[in-house]
Structure 1
Amino acid sequence: MSTVADAFATRHGAAPTGVWFAPGRVNLIGEHTDYNDGFVLPFALPHRAVVAAAPATGGRSRVRSVQEPGAAVEFSAASVVPGEVPGWAAYVAGTCWAFREAGYPVGEVELELDSDVPVGAGLSSSAAVECAVGVALAGLAGADVDPTTLARIARRAENEFVGAPTGGMDQMASMHGRAGRLVFLDTRGDTVELVPFDLPAHDLELLVVDTRAPHAHASGEYGARRADCEAAAAALGVPALRDAGPDDLPRIADERIRRRARHIVTENARVVETVRLLSGGADPRAIGPLLDASHTSMRDDFEITVPHVDVAVEAARDGGATGARMTGGGFGGCVIALVEADGAAAVTASVREAFAQRGWAEPVVFPGTPSDGAGRLA
């Protein structure tokens, strides 16, 4: 995507001040635990949002996206507030707003944006854009902003400007990712531990299956799950479901709320166990049953899967996957499958055949490789 700098130079008659990037992410395990003060275990993908940027010469900021042809979207970075900028550009304007609200200097900017993070696949395309814009703003301002602070700024943009009630996992993974490592995040204090994940050394591969069943976090279902979790914590008298254990669950009278809480409680335990195994040098195949159990919990207790992802998981297992689960916020998106390196083709074929039998569009399958987090390219 070096062409984003060329496009900027062609449009403005001068090279950008710099080019910055931030990746999408895959969550290995730990779904919907982040806004419950819990544990998550994502990693950064090689797929990135890239921003070419320079100070604006006029009194307004302008942003263009390769993925959104048409006129530039204009706004004032110095004064923009939630509700002013709709659509895709809200993620950009919102980051400018949140950066300013955090007390950092924000001048008007010219931005050219490109991204190869699949949109609507549950791979955090929005967080990639927010974090790429965040590191660009810090670079242009000459501000020394640490990765966790930038992640929090980006999350605030998504929550309060865009209006999507997500947790902070996506932005933290995008900022803290490292090649060959998982990002073990304790969301209560935003503390990060990097966990080794060297699959090639064990002749393994992690496949990402984009089912192409789109989802929308800003719709009511994601918010409804969050509200259910808050109701469960209130019923148990704890600050968050992070503070609950399996023995507490029978005290929740409402059956649906109890199932929602059971997913969070057991998912937190699965994340901790996955980290224990991988940090202790265990064969990564040992986490396969944890991936399977996570999907079952999301399907039955949290009810966030859809037929496309359930079929993909079952077909991956039938094709020889050691473990498989949906990844992301749910209601569509992607599946991950832990597979033998020499069995990746068989698993891929199994999933594609299952989709073909149902008349569904062919899924997109690619290896999930832990990669570096946000930074400057040029």
Structure 2
Amino acid sequence: MKQFVAVYGAEPDGVWAAPGRVNLIGEHTDYNDGFVLPFALPHRTVVGATRLDTPQWTVWSEQADEQITFDLSTRVPGWGAYVAGVVWVLREAGFDVPGANLAITSDVPLGAGLSSSAALESAVLTALVDLGGLDLPVDQRPRLAQQAENEYAGMPCGIMDQSASIRCRAGHALFLDCRTLEVEHIPFDVASAGLAVLVIDTRAPHRHVTGEYAARRASCEEAARALGVPALRDTTLSAVADLPDEVLRRRARHIVTENQRVLDTVDLLRSGQVREIGPLMTASHGSMRDDFEITVPEVDTAVEAALSAGAYGARMTGGGFGGCVLALVDATATDQVAAAVAEAFAARGYAPPEPFVAVPSAGATRL
């Protein structure tokens, strides 16, 4: 890893990588004990690392163009919190985490809703587990990475992002039950169906740490309490319809219907009906827009333009308030759909979007 050599003057002990992700369907269902269906991107965060004999960590980030050193005696702010949080959570779990020099580079777009933070946590976690020879099974790693983000970095995310970054397989989507953490790798070979998943980074500011994400989670928890259930996964549409508060009713309705859309999508993919998932994607977007109220004009415009240009389905992916849109399109139509979205953005004075084709890829690994 040339960046590591440039910073530290020697080759690293090893190089590890973890991907960003897109969520095919199942938004905000994870922290409601529900179902999600993400897949990993080819975009990855790469970590070169060398073990040290002292409990100290020095981290250089190419993206931040900054180097920090910490020893957990004080809390680490900013981007470093995602690294320090991993060290902290491993130590809290009783592991003897080795000190290390680390160099980090990434091509996962920042602020686009593609889980750049989970990719960073997962890559660092994988590196430290290997460096220290820690006995931490792969299926237990996402929970610790999530805990690092929740309790150290202060982002109340569910477990989907870390699960996708660590556990996904190439050519598959990860069907995850967020209550039991059981997974099923669902074949998602869009190319063999003559299709492609076009990701459109709307470049709309994606900032949900500031409170809107947390507010949605709090609303869901309040609705579950009002309904007398452990989580919204455990309720029904008819029960939700009786909630007296209109906002809570809409928030809960999104979760209940979104969980069903995930299950229906999985059923279609199991039977090879890839094109048929399009209407479920579009319905998901409508629910996020109208009931959960987490879309912004840029993502709504991208969805409308993609559908008008022939996409079989389109939806925002990620926590909301900006970020990316997924469109299921004919493989021969990616340029056509991307051009239609760009034209719609130009007409509204938005910054040009950045499209790319997403190929379901593998999770965290040593390179």
TM-score normalised to structure 2 length: 0.98
User: What's the offset of the Cα at 1:171?
Assistant: 0.2
Corresponding residue of 2:70: 75
Cα distance in 1 between the residues matched to 2:211 and 2:240:
25
Classify 1:32/1:178 alpha carbon distance in 2 versus 1 (closer, same or farther; 3 Å).
Answer: same
Aligned residues of 2:53 and 2:98 also touching (Cα < 8 A): no
Q: Is residue 2:334 matched to residue 1:311?
A: no
Classify 1:324/1:74 alpha carbon distance in 2 versus 1 (closer, same or farther; 3 Å).
Answer: same
Cα distance in 2 between the residues matched to 1:35 and 1:103:
25
**Secondary structure of 1:87's aligned partner:** coil
Equivalent runs, 1:1-378 vs 2, <5 Å:
5-56=1-52, 60-70=56-66, 72-76=67-71, 79-80=72-73, 84-282=75-273, 284-377=274-367
User: What's the offset of the Cα at 1:12?
Assistant: 2.2
**Secondary structure of 2:180's aligned partner:** coil
Q: Supply the RMSD in Å over aligned alpha carbons.
A: 1.1
**More displaced 10-residue stretch of structure 1: 92-101 or 297-306:** 92-101
- Counterpart AA for 1:204: L
Classify 1:73/1:325 alpha carbon distance in 2 versus 1 (closer, same or farther; 3 Å).
Answer: same
Cα distance in 2 between the residues matched to 1:74 and 1:67:
17
1:113-154: per-residue Cα shift (whole Å, max 9, x none)? 001000100000000000000000001001232222111111
**Secondary structure of 1:45's aligned partner:** strand
User: What's the offset of the Cα at 1:9?
Assistant: 2.0
Cα distance in 2 between the residues matched to 1:235 and 1:355:
41
- Structure 1 stretches of 5 or more lacking a match? none
Aligned residues of 1:80 and 1:93 also touching (Cα < 8 A): no
User: What's the offset of the Cα at 1:69?
Assistant: 1.2
Cα distance in 1 between the residues matched to 2:349 and 2:53:
52
Aligned residues of 1:325 and 1:336 also touching (Cα < 8 A): yes
Cα distance in 1 between the residues matched to 2:212 and 2:182:
28
Work out the number of aligned pairs and report it.
Answer: 367
User: What's the offset of the Cα at 1:58?
Assistant: 5.5
Instruction: Report sequence identity in percent.
Output: 59
**Secondary structure of 1:271's aligned partner:** helix
User: What's the offset of the Cα at 1:11?
Assistant: 2.7
Cα distance in 2 between the residues matched to 1:358 and 1:250:
37
- Counterpart AA for 1:55: R
- Counterpart AA for 2:140: T
Aligned residues of 1:34 and 1:169 also touching (Cα < 8 A): yes
**Secondary structure of 2:148's aligned partner:** helix
Cα distance in 2 between the residues matched to 1:59 and 1:245:
50
- Structure 2 stretches of 5 or more lacking a match? none
Cα distance in 1 between the residues matched to 2:234 and 2:121:
30
- Counterpart AA for 1:65: S
**Secondary structure of 2:215's aligned partner:** helix
Cα distance in 1 between the residues matched to 2:218 and 2:264:
27
TM-score normalised to structure 1 length: 0.95
Classify 1:185/1:257 alpha carbon distance in 2 versus 1 (closer, same or farther; 3 Å).
Answer: same
- Counterpart AA for 1:251: D
User: What's the offset of the Cα at 1:80?
Assistant: 4.6
**Secondary structure of 2:42's aligned partner:** strand
**Secondary structure of 1:331's aligned partner:** coil
User: What's the offset of the Cα at 1:190?
Assistant: 0.8
Cα distance in 2 between the residues matched to 1:270 and 1:60:
46
**Secondary structure of 2:11's aligned partner:** coil
